[in-house]
Amino acid sequence: MVNITSKTYTLRKAIASAIVKVSKQETILAIQNKTVPKGDVFEMAKAAGLLGVKKTPDLLPDCHPLPIEFTSVRYAINNLEIQIEVEVHTIYKTGVEVEAMHGASVVALTMYDMLKPIDKGIEISSIKLVEKRGGKSDFKEKFINRKDLRAAVIVCSDTISAGQKEDLAGKAIIEKLKMSGVEIGMYEIIPDEKEIIQKKLNEVYSQKFNLIIYTGGTGLSVRDITPESIIPLLDRRVPGIEEAIRNYGQDRTPYAMLSRSVAGVKGDMLVLALPGSTNGARESMDAIFPQVLHIFGVLKGNRHD
């Protein structure tokens, strides 16, 4: 199965449809009047559809088991066609479009099975996905041209700046930013020293960057001073971003509780301080990107030009 461990829980919805076409009006009347020999077609097919949605991962090998939190089966009759619509909701890390289509298929097959004794000309057609919502793609800011966003990535490390170690965390951050459509305007490696960290923040701010991301110096060692260096320069902390990073990390490692990641704003610039480990930096970016880009629409709306 596809690895979804890096994804986050979001509300996801899908609607699928199918069409069952009968060959005569008498079949439609039998359904409506509940005189079909095998029983109430709509209710039986609905029950089968609910089971079909739940059993999807049992039958399709690559589907992830997931919690089904809502399923609706709806019908509409149009001449000799019975239009089926199945809607499925979950709060999980992957979508439910296959579950919805499988449910619609099972509803249609159940109707076929129940109606075949009285109608030999039944057809099933147009099983398709009608709508899919949820996941990170739905939380990309629609009214912000993300190509206008420019970021600086600053690696705070004495050993890396001295050439004793290769930077991997900064490169992981850059990779995620590029996937989110953000331009990388600066990438530098500096010692984890207060004056240098603060000078770099002010320099990036003066050059009208939208985003600066520090990586490194957020541990508990007395030498890890990045948070203490940048917090005094912030206009405001954004604790929700910090909480999202830590919560995401805690689901993956018990040591995330020790993280001192910082998020805040200086003017219209978002400032982030992330862990210096490669996994810590990558997971922090997975936790908040691209949805954190919504903040630039908020900051733009708060400006008083």
Domains 10-137 and 146-302 share a fold: no
Annotated active-site residue 113? The verdict is yes
Beta strands 262-266; 236-237: pairing state: antiparallel
Total residues found in the chain within this entry? 305
**Tens of pLDDT, residues 221-253:** 767 789 999 999 999 999 999 999 999 988 888
What's the topology of domain 10-137?
Alpha-Beta Plaits (3.30.70)
User: Which member of 113, 138, 224, 268 is catalytic?
Assistant: 113
Report residue 147's pLDDT band, with 50, 70 and 90 as the boundaries: low
**pTM of the model as a whole:** 0.77
Residue 49: C-alpha distances to residues 14, 86, 87, 178 (Å): 14, 8, 11, 42
Q: What is the tens place of the pLDDT at every residue in 15-34?
A: 999 999 999 999 999 999 99
- Is the pLDDT at 174 greater than 50? The verdict is yes
For the chain, give every domain's residue range.
10-137, 146-302
pLDDT digit string (tens) for 200-216?
999 999 999 999 999 99
**In the chain, which residue ranges form alpha helices assigned H by DSSP?**
25-33, 41-54, 56-59, 97-115, 158-161, 169-179, 194-206, 226-230, 239-250, 278-288, 294-302
Q: Please state which of the four CATH numbers 3.40.109.10, 3.10.20.30, 3.40.980.10, 3.90.226.10 is assigned to the domain occupying 146-302.
A: 3.40.980.10
